[in-house]
Amino acid sequence: GQQVQQSPASLVLQEGENAELQCNFSSTATRLQWFYQRPGGSLVSLLSNPSGTKHTGRLTSTTVTKERRGSLHISSSQITDSGTYLCAIGGTGSKLSFGKGAKLTVSP
């Protein structure tokens, strides 16, 4: 099955610094989605980006499908950005495979 590796596993930043999260996957994919999990558990979809570069607010997602990698850039991090960021990969069909997540801590 699809293997999804995220790096780094954890990241500590000071407020205002930028974060770069990586996602590498083992098989051909037509879907890449980024999710945010709040401390306490609920998950929110951030971006769906199958290829190329996509921006929303302070988030930039870049996916290079043929190299089986994606990244999420968070600019000017804020304390409220703290939480876990998950990458999910899917091919044809409805199943998404998730990485283990990257825990981001933003301090004042």
Judged by the rule CB under 8 A, the positions of this chain that interact with other proteins are 1, 4, 30-31, 33, 35, 41-45, 48, 50, 86, 88, 90, 93-101
Q: What is the smallest separation between the CB atom of 95 and other proteins, expressed in angstroms?
A: 6
Residue given tokens 């998730």 in the structure block: 98
Cβ neighbors of 25 (< 8 A, separation 6 or more) are 2, 3, 4, 5, 32, 68, 69, 70, 89, 97
Q: Decide the pairing of beta strands 102-107 and 10-14.
A: parallel
Q: Specify whether the CB–CB gap between 60 and 73 falls below 8 A.
A: yes
- CB nearer to other proteins: give 42 or 108: 42
